[in-house]
Chains A and B, each alone.
Chain A
């Protein structure tokens, strides 16, 4: 019996490569998605996330590699034999059918008995609060309503895998926030394996059980939102997640008596003794230091429980007052460091500031491989 008791499946991509003529869209994607999991493919436009989704759907065939659902390889199966459903970016709600017929269509194709179709359409419509729209045509609906119809059509077929391609990108900001939580709740309720494509990091962080961050046809990191934010595996992920963007500063590693010095052209940051073992291969070499704007504090706004800290100095170059937050652009000599602090704090331009850095939250990346070392 359906309605909250969906049969789920795990999804695996093995070495998936996709070429379009001479351009390479995917350069070898390996991804394992557990049954019932909500995985977000996140990345800038052109990174291959939609191509990955279309390959899982069967709308594209990979040039190389395998797509596996459960214990069955589906690489060569057409979409209709994969037991999936999809919400398209443009919704793709068929304009020549009523809302009812749109939702019922996939069931009619499967020759589900009429009473059963009626029951399921009404169930889906109720779940998405579009029961009163069933007799309308898509052109009589708003974007948000059309989007709900697309989701209703996608879940009514009892899919093993639900694919969503930027379903919220055409909605206005308020509705997007509302639908974000609604889709997430819906997914929890029907427990369907869901793969969701977006370029919006807030959507990814709030909705995904796990996030796969993609760039230039490769997966840069797969992890929970917490891992992606706190333990970025490389410079790309560190820079892509978080707003304002993480500060990146080239530093030279120098061993000192009681710790490690990170020497940049503008300032030196002192790390305690325990970092020596981690960084001993890099002594004398250049690394990329990454500090998030929200992990630096002006004096007077430093949390009391900060364990390891150091200070840098600079002159206020520019201030963005966002109300809840204040973004300070700090000129440290040759660099601008962005600091995010409480909205109550309003430094003046030209003012000299001392900023405390939370050393537990810093990241150090290998300059050549751009991989995270700390």
Chain B
């Protein structure tokens, strides 16, 4: 049986209108995120003459001169410092945070929820308030102006995040896998390292990268606690106050690139951590 099919023009218009609106919104969102990166990269590498020429928005001649200048002034050392601090921060915060996260995920105990809240509440403490007393304490302990000192402070800052995220990741590994490990010959520690840890690894890697970026970007505590052994953000903060614009952009460039690389490398793990699997 065939019958007349009616096509309303307004239906078609609405269909395409909806598509156009969605595309427009996506474009705005992408621009919003990408534009600062693009600007930073362009101006960090731009020729000074062209940068100051009011008629040129996008320079045509590029140079590594500004970045080279920063490196000569000590950016390379600061970068190494930053990496050391970030790696130490990951080691310390996972050494303490992973067992805590495991306990939160796997055991029921009294005051569990209040304890969790308390851990988050620690983050409410303003860094400005504790920075100076911390510096005094660090002088007494001989930790002032050391990378270890900065790493410890960063560990304290990262710990609530690490504990909560790792507990979420561990809770996401079904407890039966671990129990099967116990039944088939492992003790608790063995079951953790041979069953739970490998299964939690993608999520834990993402958490580690977040911790890395947090430490990498942290400037306030790093600037207060160090004078000679500065981390990259502290070094740049110190340097760029009176510098020319393209030096500022070059500083931002050096800061952003490692973070960008990390995010791209960790991309698929990050996606998995938020519970979406893209296969």
Contacts and interface: CB of A to CB of B under 8 A. Distances in A.
B182 A106 contact: no
B183 interface: yes
B186 interface: yes
Contact of B199 (A80, A85, A95): A95
Contacts of A92: 174, 176-177, 179-180
B184 A90 contact: no
Interface string A79-114: 110001110111010111000000001100110000
Nearest to B174: A90
A79 B176 contact: no
Contacts of B186: 80, 109
B195 interface: yes
Interface residues on B, range: 10 to 19
Interface residues of A, number: 22
Interface string B187-219: 100100001001100000000000000000000
A59 B179 contact: yes
Q: Which DSSP category, helix, strand, loop or mixed, fits chain B's interface?
A: helix
A94 B183 contact: no
B191 to A, nearest CB: 9
Contacts of B54: none
A78 interface: yes
Interface string B46-62: 00000000000000000
A88 B186 CA distance: 16
A124 interface: no
Given A79-B182, A95-B199, A88 B176 contact: yes
A57 interface: yes
A153 interface: yes
A220 B210 CA distance: 55
A89 B176 CA distance: 9
B198 A96 contact: yes
A289 interface: no
Interface of A: 57-59, 78-80, 84-86, 88-90, 92, 94-96, 105-106, 109-110, 153, 157
9 contacts: A59-B179, A78-B182, A78-B187, A79-B182, A80-B185, A88-B176, A92-B179, A94-B177, A109-B186
Interface of B: 174, 176-177, 179-187, 190, 195, 198-199
Nearest 7 pairs of A and B residues by beta carbon: A109-B185, A106-B184, A92-B176, A92-B180, A79-B182, A86-B183, A79-B183
Given A79-B183, A92-B180, A109-B190, 8 more contacts: A58-B182, A79-B179, A80-B183, A86-B179, A90-B174, A94-B195, A94-B199, A109-B186
